[in-house]
A and B are shown apart, each in its own frame.
Chain A
Amino acid sequence: MTLKNKSIIAALLSLIIPGAGQLYKKAYKRAGALFLLTASAFVTVLWYQHKEWWFAAILIWLWVVLDAYQFPKNSITVLPILLWLVMAYGIGWQVTEMDPTAIFRNQERASIILKPMLRPDFTRPRTESLTSYVDIQVPCSPTPPLAERTNGNGIKMSVSPNCANLNEYVTLNVTGFWPEYPATMEWHSPIGAKSIHEEFQINPDGNGTLLFQVKPIVNIAAPDQTLPQMHRIVVIQSKPLGGIDISETGGHILRGIYETLSVALLATLIGAILAIPFSFLAARNLMSSNPIMRIIYVLTRTVLNIVRSVESLIMAIIFVVIVGLGTFPGMLAITLHTIAALGKLYSEVIEGIDSGPIEAIRATGANWLQVVRYGVIPQIIPSFMALTIYRWDINVRSSTIIGFVGGGGIGFYLYQWILLQDYRSVSASFISIAIVVMLLDFFSARLREQIR
C-alpha cells in the first residue's frame, strides 16, 4: 500500500475516533495523548454544557485528523494544546465566576465586618459589681407571696404590689447599693430569658426606686399565660476599678488556644510514636529481602499514602460522628494524619541511612542492640526530631481549624462567633491564632536548626 493511501485511511480513522489513525500508523503514545486531548475537550463541551466552546473541540479534532494524514511528518503540536488550554482557562474563568470588582463594590458590607475587626474584643475595663434579686409573682394569684428579699450583704429589695399582671406598673425599692452609681434592672422569666432591661440611679444614701411596666413580653414563652409563676427581678450595679481585665471573649480565646495547643501536642506525640513501626515497614532498604516483606512494604506505603491524602478536617468530621463533639475527635483526626505523614517521612530517613557506620560497628564485635544504639539511632534521631517538630508546627495550624467541624479548640469558638456575626471576637481570635502560629514557626525553626 502506498504511503498516501495509508495516510488517507489513517485520516478517515481519526475522523471516526480521534487518535485511531495515529494508532493505525503505530504511534501508540501519540494516539493515546491525542485521544485524551480531544475527548476531554468534548466532555467539557457536551457533558458540562459549555456549548460556546464547541469550535475549540471541533478544531482540535480536525487537527488530529490532519495529523493522522501527515504523520510521521510532524504537524505543529503546539496548536491543539494551545486551543485546549485557552478553552480550559476560559471555562475556568466562567466556573469560578471571576468578578474582581465585587471586592470593591460592597463597601457597606465590608465596613460591617472590617470596622469591628479593628477593635478586637480581648479586654474590658476592670469593674466590680454588686448584685441582688427579688422574686415576684406574675400574673397575680389570690394570695401572692411577699415580694421582698434581703441578701447576705444587707441589700434589701422589695416590689409593691407583691404581684403584677401584664401591663401593670410596679415600683421596685432597693437599699444598700453603692451610692451615686447607676444600677441596671433585668427581668428574668422562669426559664431564665432576660426581657425588661432598665437603668436607674442610686441616691447618696444607697437607695433607689424604679417604676416600670411589666410588659407582656415577660410571659411570651409561658405555656399557660394565666398560670401564676415566679419571675425574678435582678439588679446589678457596677463601678470601674481602673485598669483592664480579660473580657469574656478573651477568656474563651485563651481557653481555645490552650485546647488547640494541647490537641497538637498530644496528636504529635502519639502520632510520632505510632508512626515509627509503620516507617520501618515502609522503608525499602529494610523490606526488600524477600517477596513477603516486599508485599508488606507496598501495602504499608499504599495505606500511608491514602490516609495522608485525606485532609484531617475531613477525618475530624468522621470522628465527630463516631465519638461526638469535642477536642477528642479533633485530636484523633490529627493523630491519624500525623501517623501517615510522619510514617512516610520517617521511612525516607531510614532509607537514607548510611550502611557504612553500621558495618564498622558490627566489625568491632558489638552486639545487635549496640549496633542499633550506636550505628542506627544517631543517624536517624536528629532527622526524626526535626520532622516531628515540623509536624507539630503543622498540627497546631490544623488544630486551629479543626473546631469548625466540631473538633474543639479555638476553631470551635471562632466558628460560633462567625455565625453570630460577632466580628470583634472573630478579629480577636484571628490575631491570637496568628500570634501563636508565628511564635511557633519561630521556635520550631530555631529548634530544628539546633538539631541539624
Chain B
Amino acid sequence: MLRVEHLTKVYPNGTVALKDVSFEVPDGEFLVVIGLSGSGKSTLLRCINRLIDPTEGKIFLDDQEITSANSTELRHIRRKIGMIFQQFNLVKRSTVLTNTLNGRLGYANPFLSLLGIWPQADKDMAMAALNRVGIADKAKNRADALSGGQQQRVGISRALMQEPRIILADEPVASLDPVLAHSILQYLEQMNKTDRVTVICSLHFLDLVHRYGTHVIGLKDGMKVFEGAPSEIDRARFKAIYGEEAQEVRATALE
C-alpha cells in the first residue's frame, strides 16, 4: 500500500508542479496517471522515490514514511521501487548486460561493485531478466546499438533486477510506435499480474488507459482533477483533463 498525502512541490524558480495531491495505491494495482505535459505527472512519480524532494506532504510505503527517510533508508526504499523512463535512460556506451546489472546496485557489495565485479548469481539473474524480455542475445551489445523498443526492454530488465514491489513508469511508451507500445505495456501488465508488482504509469492515450489501467488519476496544473476506474473516463472527461484544444489532437486516441 502506497499512500500519498497532501503532496506539494514548488520548484526554486516558483513553478508549482504539484498542489495538495493525495491518493492511495493498494498492492497489485495498475494505476495510470494522465494529464497534459507539464501537469505534474513526472514530478509526482519522482517524488515517490524522492529523485525530487517534495516541498510539503508525506508519502508512506506501508507504514514507512519515504519523505522522512535518511539516505540509507532511502536507498533501501529505492531498490524496492523500479523506474522506467520515456527516454529509457540507459548508459549508452555500456553493454546491455551492464545496464541490466545496474538495477542490482542497491543490493550489491559496495566495494566489489565499484571494481566492476559481480557475483555469478547476479549475472545469472540478469541473463534471466533479459531472457524474460526476449533480448538475451543482445547482452554483449552496447546499449546504443539497440532500437528504441529494445532499449526500453533493457529498461524493464533493469527494473526487474531490483525485484521491485512498485514500478514507476514515466511515459514509458511515449517515444515508441503503437505496436511497440503494446508490447512494452504487456511486460508491465505481466509483472503486475504474475509478480503482483504495483505499477504506477503515466500515459497519454485513452485506448491504452482503458486497456491496461485498473485505476486512473487525472492531473491538471498540478492538481488531482480526477480519480476513478478507467471505464469512467470518456471523451468528456478526457477533454476536461486535457483541455478543449486537445480534442483534435487526441481524436484518434479517443476512437
B51 to chain A, nearest CB (A): 6
B247 within 8 A of partner (CB): no
On whether the beta carbons of A363 and B110 are closer than 8 Å, the reply is no
Q: Which residues of chain A are within 8 angstroms of B80 by Cβ–Cβ distance?
A: 365
B49 to chain A, nearest CB (A): 6
Q: Looking at the complex, which one of A361, A367, A379 makes contact with B102 (CB distance below 8 Å)?
A: A361
On whether the beta carbons of B162 and A364 are closer than 8 Å, the reply is yes
On whether the beta carbons of A366 and B91 are closer than 8 Å, the reply is no
Q: Which residues of chain B are within 8 angstroms of A367 by Cβ–Cβ distance?
A: 75, 105, 110
On whether the beta carbons of A373 and B114 are closer than 8 Å, the reply is yes
Q: Which residues of chain B are within 8 angstroms of A366 by Cβ–Cβ distance?
A: 75, 102, 105-106
On whether the beta carbons of A369 and B89 are closer than 8 Å, the reply is no
Q: Looking at the complex, which one of A356, A364, A369, A378 makes contact with B94 (CB distance below 8 Å)?
A: A378
Q: Which residues of chain A are within 8 angstroms of B103 by Cβ–Cβ distance?
A: 364
User: Could you tell me the distance between the alpha carbons of A375 and B85 in the complex, rounded to whole angstroms?
Assistant: 15
A362 within 8 A of partner (CB): yes
Sorting the interface of chain B by its residue count into under 10, 10 to 19, 20 to 34 or 35 or more gives 35 or more
Q: Which residues of chain B are within 8 angstroms of A365 by Cβ–Cβ distance?
A: 75-80, 105-107, 162
Q: Which residues of chain A are within 8 angstroms of B82 by Cβ–Cβ distance?
A: 363-364
Task: Give chain B's interface residues, CB within 8 Å of chain A.
Answer: 49, 51, 75-83, 85, 87-94, 98, 102-108, 110, 113-114, 116, 155, 158, 161-162, 168
Residue of chain B at shortest CB distance from A452: B93
A247 within 8 A of partner (CB): no
User: What is the size, in residues, of chain A's interface with B at 8 Å between Cβ atoms?
Assistant: 20
* Nearest 7 pairs of A and B residues by beta carbon: A365-B106, A365-B79, A356-B89, A366-B105, A360-B89, A365-B78, A363-B83
Q: Looking at the complex, which one of B49, B75, B105 makes contact with A374 (CB distance below 8 Å)?
A: B105
Residue of chain A at shortest CB distance from B72: A367
On whether the beta carbons of A362 and B102 are closer than 8 Å, the reply is no
Q: Which residues of chain A are within 8 angstroms of B77 by Cβ–Cβ distance?
A: 365
Check A359/B51 contact, CB under 8 A, given A378-B94, A379-B93: yes
A97 to chain B, nearest CB (A): 54
Q: Which residues of chain B are within 8 angstroms of A382 by Cβ–Cβ distance?
A: 93
User: Could you tell me the distance between the alpha carbons of A361 and B78 in the complex, rounded to whole angstroms?
Assistant: 10
Task: Give chain A's interface residues, CB within 8 Å of chain B.
Answer: 354, 356-357, 359-367, 369-370, 373-375, 378-379, 382
Q: Which residues of chain B are within 8 angstroms of A370 by Cβ–Cβ distance?
A: 105, 108, 110, 113-114
Q: Which residues of chain A are within 8 angstroms of B158 by Cβ–Cβ distance?
A: 360, 364
Q: Which residues of chain B are within 8 angstroms of A359 by Cβ–Cβ distance?
A: 51, 85, 89
On whether the beta carbons of B91 and A357 are closer than 8 Å, the reply is yes
Beyond A363-B83, A364-B103, A378-B94: 6 further Cβ-contacts under 8 Å? A354-B92, A363-B51, A364-B79, A364-B106, A374-B113, A382-B93
Q: Which residues of chain A are within 8 angstroms of B90 by Cβ–Cβ distance?
A: 357, 360
On whether the beta carbons of B162 and A374 are closer than 8 Å, the reply is no
On whether the beta carbons of A364 and B102 are closer than 8 Å, the reply is yes
On whether the beta carbons of B110 and A369 are closer than 8 Å, the reply is yes
On whether the beta carbons of B78 and A364 are closer than 8 Å, the reply is yes
A388 to chain B, nearest CB (A): 17
User: Could you tell me the distance between the alpha carbons of A356 and B152 in the complex, rounded to whole angstroms?
Assistant: 13
Q: Which residues of chain B are within 8 angstroms of A374 by Cβ–Cβ distance?
A: 91, 94, 98, 102, 105, 113
